[in-house]
Chains A and B, each alone.
Chain A
Amino acid sequence: MSTPTLRRPASPAASRIVPALKGLVGFAAALAVWQALAGIGFVRPEYFPSATTVLGDAISLLGQPGFTLQVLATLSEMLLGLLIATVVAVPLGILLGRFPVAYRMSSLLVEAMRPIPALALTPVAILLFGLSGATTISLVVWTSLWPVLINSVYGMHSVDRVALDTARSFGLSRWSALYRVALPSAAPFIATGVRIAIGIALAVAVATEMITGSGSGVGAWIVQASSGGSLVPVYAAAVLVGLLGYLLNFLFERIERRLFRWHLSYRKEAS
């Protein structure tokens, strides 16, 4: 018997608004500290501008197509890379998760390739694709492939054998059992893999653009901007790109929660 803890029944709206407000308090406090530190003036304001300066610059950046178009370019490259990685990794993960032999035979190959940081392959990608968006996309694919693959395998491994046997006993064929039982129960894990990939894919996309300096994407924009005397645009871009990453993650989490509300298991996933 568990202790009955009766709480004031919170309305669904309140249960969403209160945490959001608390989060905003955290942001406000951080901005205040930033503003105060910058106000002391122990660092030149070009290098450590105040929060208000940066936020003002960020807002004006939003109105500059020279910036927003680069952000869109990065975003589309990143999303395309993510999509390709998912399309490749999910079937592969299902295959490896379903057939232990395939899993065992490929495990060392995966373990050897997975730790290669995407950025180390930048020169190879440049040789193959030149200084183009394809270079960025290919590296995003490389970096996203592994979390999606690993989590797909993991998801397949966690499929309830009883559920699978039940489905088979009801006369479902091997394929429809896979499609109707295994895949849905592995889906939340696959989604987790994609969400982990999103986080690192944006960093890799921006980094690639910074290294290639090809003139496209927000990474190239930042390299350009930082060559001037002031770091204010770099701070502003960081704030905005961070916001983009935050929103992407937030959106994806919402979709996940909507889709997998039935998924009860506590997932020891990494945030």
Chain B
Amino acid sequence: MTSSGERNQVLGVRDLVYAYKTADGDLEAISNLSFRVDEGEFVSIVGPSGSGKTTLMKILAGLLRATRGSVEVSGKPITGNVPEGVALVFQDYSRSLFPWMTVEGNVAFPITRRGLSAGEVAERSRQSLSAVGLDGFARRYPWELSGGMQQRVAIARALAFRPRLLLMDEPFASVDAQTKADLEDLIASVHQQFGTTILFVTHDIDESVYLSDRVLVLSAHPARLLLDREVPLSRPRDQVATRELPDFVHLRSEIAGLILRPGHPVQGADPVQTR
């Protein structure tokens, strides 16, 4: 990254370690992880299953405490407490939405009683639902909707929150391929429209390249940073055309090589940039 100097850092992770206690002593799931995410950036973290991606997300959201190292959100260190202005979209939409609230209720819930008037809350909810293409579904219940639509509700809830940092943990891993493509384009357009800073976790290499400005590649057991790379693709991107571009194909195979054949660096792969 060359332009990073002028941009505001939203998330700074330094020397992060997370270790489980087991019968045979401590087992590191995350090992000395350092990276940063700047304002307005769309950064993906891609890594094999079991690379501690969800654990990392939980630490960043304040749900888990890191064993060592520091995490700063907007310059404020988080230590076990929940950072202000961070929203998290889970993979399991059906269990993270509240089934006893309507779609609108779910979206409005986190922003109610935060000094906003009822009218402002309603307006923000409406806007967010509109942004994810759910006009007219406000009064429905989440369980009346398809999986893809439920995940849209979760995204709308996060948008209404106006987070400084939006964390997304494999958000499209449990929907069908067509829905997944739709949701990818949705989140890309939302990113453009709202300028939201997004940290997106996935195990899908194509998805990470297609969506992001920058890709972080993690290793498995324990999670280490293997690659931190800008995505040299212009926006807006297209599900078909972008994926055929040489830059896309090249970056994808580079990442695939790192993940699928660990220990055999692909020709031309840059050394890890730690910023």
Contact = CB atoms under 8 A, between A and B. Distances in A.
A1 B22 contact: no
A261 interface: no
Q: Is the interface of A mostly helix, strand, loop or mixed?
A: loop
A3 interface: yes
Interface in B166-206: 169-170, 173, 203
B58 A3 contact: yes
B54 A2 contact: yes
Contacts of B50: 1, 4
B52 to A, nearest CB: 8
A1 B49 contact: yes
Given A1-B49, A1-B170, A6 B55 contact: no
Interface string A165-192: 0000000000000000000000000000
B214 interface: no
Contacts, number: 28
B22 A8 contact: yes
A6 B173 CA distance: 24
B20 A6 contact: yes
B129 to A, nearest CB: 28
Nearest to B173: A1
B1 interface: no
A6 B50 CA distance: 12
Contacts of A4: 20, 29, 50, 55
Given A6-B20, A7-B22, 20 more contacts: A1-B49, A1-B50, A1-B53, A1-B54, A1-B91, A1-B169, A2-B54, A3-B54, A3-B55, A3-B58, A4-B20, A4-B29, A4-B50, A4-B55, A6-B21, A6-B22, A6-B27, A8-B21, A8-B23, A9-B23
B92 to A, nearest CB: 9
Interface in A1-51: 1-9
17 contacts: A1-B53, A1-B91, A1-B169, A1-B173, A1-B203, A2-B54, A3-B54, A3-B58, A4-B20, A5-B20, A6-B20, A6-B22, A7-B22, A8-B21, A8-B22, A8-B23, A9-B23
Nearest to A7: B22
Interface in A106-132: none
Nearest to A5: B20
A263 to B, nearest CB: 22
